[in-house]
Structure 1
């Protein structure tokens, strides 16, 4: 009993990372996947769970064993040029996702309140910045952990729809593969939002904040597994709900209201309000993680002081990147992209970046000079390599279809 209690107390970076994965971009992506491909990608969602656990575990353990961040480890064993290339792509993907998430939150608030979304964008951004900058990391962590529970509303909604159980099981356990462009984009978007690059940098950085030691690696693994399982259970049921309500309906997903239809059985005429609460919670959970992962990555690359336990005056570069990410993200609202398109395609970009990061993690995690006796387990290597091959293959197919 005491061991179980200790493990529950140890929950933190993994659970927060898993909850943040179901951000507004994730909610929209999974909804689009369900609406456009039905139940046919549920098998990939199931398979993505061990893939996600393996990749996150590699990033977490590398940070714990080396007592360094991912940028520091990559720079030490490759070069600063490699680190800068990875970080540049990461920050671009993060800023687009932040902008899409902020736009989604402002759009939802605008519909709920009747106020023009553009007028709500800055207040939402300021509130997020305030929560992170003027509260200690421990307070932020507690708030983020409690917010993850609200995302279970999507599980309840999917169950109340009563989807055909036989169809659900067949599509979950038997792969349905298609090379149609829409299917490939949906699959890449699903992987990109499930195994998001920013999650790797965030959790690795937070393991340092937690100051876990080598002997606590098992706690970190339990935290990672718990967070990823919860995240993907929610994601699975978002796809199920969207597929049951929207697939084959002929209704294109162009607005946040279209996505909210997936919650109709649960919310009735209050569907959008229920959906809106989920989007807002997911945004407040994920945007600090997105901006924080960029801030940690850049600060560690240049050797700046970093961490949410520091005051602004003591870690100016770190907080400058954090605030800059939010402000640049606000500019996405002014772009011609619709909120849904920005949310969806930002995750496709993450899917294209994923193979590079997984390849680096596999090399680092299997290097005995770095990891000593804590090199990758067979599980991490098996599903890490599988993640690399699948994401690389999907990216190659998408590139071929775009060019030819």
Structure 2
């Protein structure tokens, strides 16, 4: 079974970052189990889009940006599309990297205390650098399988410790409701799970693992299994957070602190381990995704050890460590990244569905009717999500 696990585990690790854990924490504390359906919907949407990206990557043996460039014949539209992709992902990932490293840092604080907290970002940055510099794709895959397993175990145990009510969980999963004031939280849950850069990352990573059309079934299994496990982790955070009767919990670290009086040090340590694993995996995948996107957009055809490929991920990693170490909060950059991602998600979803419907690109492996119906529904939903996130950032609501 584990031999079949591939790029899907890196995709799951990428979307379960500190942002996802914080959004899930707020959802659980504020609305209990009521928004579990939104996470379930997000996971299904992620599975559908990531399967399309993986299928496209295996059939074409190219990155998503490469395929888009080849199929957009109008020079100006092609240039604008590539500029938006580069801007959203390179600048966005650089802006969010400080938060990824910060999440891993909070995990270390929960485990080892705050005495050496100022050194934690450097330790995290060095660990991420070493894994990316000395590791190969296969080595990263193995590391991520361990980290995802550790994260899953930690958050599942944390959720079980809170003694959840099974009937209420099932109701939250399968009976959608929108409690007053929950709309932005629903948008946050979907936005941190259905991540645009993961589509580019997945299409490129499958080339490292699989070369034949006979591997499509394995890739689909890998996608469903890995992302499903990632969704379970996110749901466990919501369930754990629902046990805390406090509106003062605003982050994953607050959740760890809030669980301690109720369930002792055990919950705090499990939460710390899970948060560290979530932070370190996102700290690695965000720079890696940026490097793959740059590779495709500029047509480098660079390998994992190519200096141009390395230069991109090193830059993203250094920016993250620098911002966090000096307490810099690049609010304007993050706002730009949020607006760019709000534009990018529906645009890339449209382009992806279009590409996997083209016979000259996919041949007999293009979308069937069912896949198209589900794909178009997700495109419409991502358009709504993108517009709402832009309106929110620009303060127009």
TM class by shorter chain equals: 0.7 to 0.9
2: CA distance, partners of 1:176 / 1:22: 24
How far did residue 24 of structure 1 move? 2.4
1:183 lines up with 2:182 in the alignment: yes
Q: Which residue of 2 aligns with 1:361?
A: 352
Number of the residue aligned with 2:223: 224
Residues 303-345 of structure 1 show CA distances to partners (whole Å, capped at 9, x for unaligned) of: 224333x3xxxx1110000100001122332456599xx9999
Q: Which residue of 1 aligns with 2:75?
A: none
Gaps of 5+ in 1: none
Aligned positions of 1:43-62 closer than 5 A: 43-62=37-56
Structure 1 SS opposite 2:177: coil
Q: 1:83 to 1:209 in 2, by over 3 A?
A: same
Asked whether the equivalents of residues 25 and 343 of structure 1 are also in contact (C-alpha less than 8 Å), the reply is no
Question: What runs of 5+ residues in structure 2 fail to find an aligned partner?
Answer: 73-77
1:193 maps to 2:192: yes
TM-score calculated relative to the size of structure 1:
0.86
Partner Cα distance (1:343, 1:36) in 2: 25
Q: Deviations over 1:195-239 (max 9, x none)?
A: 112221221111111142222111111111111111111111111
Partner of 1:76: 70
Aligned partner of 2:248 among 246, 251, 263: 251
Q: What residue number does 2:145 align with?
A: 145
Q: Distance in 1 between matches of 2:263 and 2:52?
A: 40
Distance in 2 between residues matched to 1:274 and 1:294, nearest whole Å? 31
Superposition map of 1:299-318 within 5 A: 299-308=295-304, 310=305, 315-318=306-309
Number of the residue aligned with 2:35: 41
1:160–1:266 contact (8 Å) kept in structure 2: no
Q: How many residues align?
A: 386
Q: Is the 8 A contact 1:19 1:230 kept in 2?
A: no
| 1:396 aligned to which of 376, 382, 387 | 387
Q: Which residue of 2 aligns with 1:241?
A: 240
Q: Tell me the residue number matched to 1:383.
A: 374
Instruction: Give the 3 Å change call, closer, same or farther, for CA 127–188 of structure 1 in structure 2.
Output: same
Contact 2:88 2:340 in 1 (8 A): no
Q: Is the 8 A contact 1:294 1:322 kept in 2?
A: yes
Deviation at 1:102, TM superposition (A): 0.7
Q: Distance in 2 between matches of 1:337 and 1:68?
A: 36
**Structure-2 change in CA distance of 1:83 and 1:347 (3 Å):** closer
